[in-house]
Chain A
Amino acid sequence: MSTTTTQPPAPGPGMGSPRINLRSGTLPRRFPAALLASCAAVVAGVLLAFSSFGFLLWGVLTAVAYVVIAVTASARVEGGRKAKDRLVTSIVYMCFLLAMLPLASVLWTVFTNGMNRLDIYFLSVSMNGVLPSMDAGGAYHAIVGTLAITGMATLISVPIGVMTAVYLVEYAQGRMKQLLMFFVDVMTGIPSIVAGLFVVALWMVLFGPGHTNGAAGAIALAVLMIPVVVRSSEEMLRLVPQDLREAAYALGVPRWRTITKVVLPTSAAGLTTGIMLAIARVIGETAPLILTAGTSAVSINWNLFDGQMMNLPVFIYSQVRMGGAINYERAWAAALTLILVVMLLFFLARMIGGLFAPKAR
């Protein structure tokens, strides 16, 4: 065991013993790194010897070996308090790695499985006239639907969301402000399926039963998107320094001019970032679209107000429901497409946010 790395016998820092030596029992600075490396090597060796090497098993066993040895060594050399500190440090690192595991796994499985079928053909044809089990067809109609539905949802939610944020930051006071902020928070928590049901109920009242179309889906997404836009825009507007507003007022510029010519342009980058993140969030929404835009459209439909409209998330879902091998291949390919779109939005948003960060301060 690696307890050979110890230093002079520890006079135990506990129990009020005379603390003459500040150095009393400290493991070398490089001890954790060295121990981790040797644990990893030894575990890998043992696993290979039994020819049962797997990355997950290797990681888990290395972590266990490291924690056990490090904590025991620390307890003997440095005393209980430091051992506990090291234990918590290891646990906290492992929590993070544990969270990275599903992230890496999801991205990896989607990438490897999706690449089987993701090509120009898949992106450029619909499922029109393709039997579910045929080795043909693609997701073009779903991409069209996703663009149309999310586009309309964005057009609805951005004006409402940004104007509400303007109201909250520039105008609202007292009870009304608190009430509105509270209900925006509440709205953030509406389950997406409930937003879908809301539009179903609304459509039944307006048009009678059995009407599914892209516009219904867009409204449902807008319900989910508005509070996100409000919260992020509100944050950005609050970052605009007060003296900028006062400078404009001092020049005799009316308030609404100040807002449209000074406040909004100053926070434009931040607003854009927030809106893009909001789009990234709703573009993968599935449940409300199952209820509102339908699950069975196979052909290209650019008309939001006429008939069912396929989209990427629902395409993935309905292919999985069909359950054949070819269906799963299509689902993975569509999932890869969707993830690429979301990641692109995510990174672009961060880049815009980073590049054009508020110059004030």
Chain B
Amino acid sequence: MAKRIDVSGLHVYYGDFLAVADVSMTIEPRSVTAFIGSSGCGKSTFLRALNRMHEVTPGARAEGKVLLDDLDIYAPGVDPVMVRTEVGMVFQKANPFPTMSIYDNVIAGARLNNRRMSKSEADDLVEGSLRGANLWEEVKDRLNKPGAGLSGGQQQRLCIARATAVKPSVLLMDEPCSALDPISTLAIEDLIHELKEDYTIVIVTHNMQQAARVSDRTAFFNLSAPGKPGQLIEMGETNQIFTRPEKKETENYITGRFG
């Protein structure tokens, strides 16, 4: 199921402003890739360009190639809706639909594609997705309660369950733990470890320890100067990036000496 992502020469613009310049990289399937870098360096923008979510922002557009296995998601005629069922996303702030129950939240995306799902199919999918998100045991007795009643960490795992219920091949995570306490963060990190068996996972994080803990490969983004576009500085095995970075900028960032 997991797919490889090949990015070549991707530029992302907001109107006339070039936010991310000329990024090329390969993201391996069944692994966790972390994007690190200071705020505003374009890593989140670049992440959103991987499932065309940046198009939600008015005036945003991307140029370049993003191959999902061998299909270019920016080829003419490609439908962003289809892209997003292949490449799911989890956001910084947990955002379960407030009017829906836990059950309905999990099934919401899958229902879109398959309206005539039988009750037992739906039950299985909900249980499977919630188990996959390590949430089943905690919520199985209150599936019909609103999702907004859960704790922050549980809500975020609910959102992960909701994203995986659509059966994507890639999961993008935009700082999924930045609003959570350490225990909930640990639970999510454990979950990411398990999920990489089945998915290609890309995670944006501000927390370098987190990147070191969860990721197999790490990409470092930076701005050459304020107001200039963000760039990919270096990408490699997480171990190598954190212990022997090739570029001076990476080393400065890792060791806490900025710019």
Partners in one complex: yes
Taking Cβ atoms with an 8 Å cutoff, the residues of A that contact B are 7, 13-16, 19, 21-24, 26, 28-29, 78, 81-82
B214 at the interface (CB under 8 A from A): no
A13: chain B residues at CB < 8 Å are 82, 113
Stretch at the interface among B53-61, B70-78, B235-243: B70-78
What are 5 A-B interface contacts by the 8 Å CB criterion? A16-B167, A22-B73, A23-B78, A23-B82, A26-B79
Within 8 A of A (CB), among B80-109: 81-83, 85-86
Residue in A7, A15, A81 whose beta carbon sits within 8 Å of that of B77 in the complex: A7
| Cβ B114 vs Cβ A22 within 8 A | no
| Cβ B113 vs Cβ A22 within 8 A | no
| Cβ B71 vs Cβ A21 within 8 A | yes
| Cβ B77 vs Cβ A26 within 8 A | yes
Question: Given the complex of chains A and B, what is the CA–CA distance between A81 and B83 in angstroms?
Answer: 15
Chain A residue with minimal CB distance to B167? Answer: A16
Instruction: Give the residue among A21, A26, A29 with the most B Cβ atoms within 10 A.
Output: A26
Interface size class of B (residues with CB under 8 A): 10 to 19
A78: chain B residues at CB < 8 Å are 79
| Cβ B73 vs Cβ A81 within 8 A | no
Chain B residue with minimal CB distance to A80? Answer: B115
Q: What 10 pairs across the A-B complex have the smallest Cβ distances?
A: A22-B82, A22-B78, A26-B77, A23-B77, A26-B79, A23-B78, A22-B71, A22-B83, A16-B114, A15-B114
Residue in A15, A16, A19 whose beta carbon sits within 8 Å of that of B82 in the complex: A19
Min distance, Cβ A32 to any Cβ of chain B, angstroms: 15
Question: Given the complex of chains A and B, what is the CA–CA distance between A19 and B71 in angstroms?
Answer: 11
Min distance, Cβ B68 to any Cβ of chain A, angstroms: 7
B225 at the interface (CB under 8 A from A): no
Within 8 A of A (CB), among B45-63: none
Question: Given the complex of chains A and B, what is the CA–CA distance between A24 and B73 in angstroms?
Answer: 12
Residue in B78, B83, B86, B113 whose beta carbon sits within 8 Å of that of A14 in the complex: B113
B183 at the interface (CB under 8 A from A): no
Min distance, Cβ A28 to any Cβ of chain B, angstroms: 8
Min distance, Cβ A238 to any Cβ of chain B, angstroms: 27
| Cβ B113 vs Cβ A16 within 8 A | yes
B75: chain A residues at CB < 8 Å are 22-23
Min distance, Cβ A321 to any Cβ of chain B, angstroms: 52
A24: chain B residues at CB < 8 Å are 79, 82
With A7-B77, A22-B71: A81-B112 Cβ-Cβ less than 8 Å: yes
Min distance, Cβ B164 to any Cβ of chain A, angstroms: 15
A16: chain B residues at CB < 8 Å are 113-114, 167
B167: chain A residues at CB < 8 Å are 16
Question: Given the complex of chains A and B, what is the CA–CA distance between A22 and B86 in angstroms?
Answer: 9
A22: chain B residues at CB < 8 Å are 68, 71, 73, 75, 78-79, 82-83, 86
B113: chain A residues at CB < 8 Å are 13-16, 81
A82: chain B residues at CB < 8 Å are 79, 81
A26: chain B residues at CB < 8 Å are 77-79
B79: chain A residues at CB < 8 Å are 22-24, 26, 78, 82
User: Apart from A21-B71, A22-B82, what are 12 other A-B pairs with CB-CB below 8 Å?
Assistant: A13-B82, A14-B113, A14-B114, A15-B113, A16-B167, A19-B85, A23-B75, A23-B79, A23-B82, A24-B79, A26-B77, A26-B79
A7: chain B residues at CB < 8 Å are 77
Question: Given the complex of chains A and B, what is the CA–CA distance between A26 and B71 in angstroms?
Answer: 15
Question: Given the complex of chains A and B, what is the CA–CA distance between A23 and B71 in angstroms?
Answer: 9
Min distance, Cβ A161 to any Cβ of chain B, angstroms: 37
A28: chain B residues at CB < 8 Å are 77
B77: chain A residues at CB < 8 Å are 7, 23, 26, 28
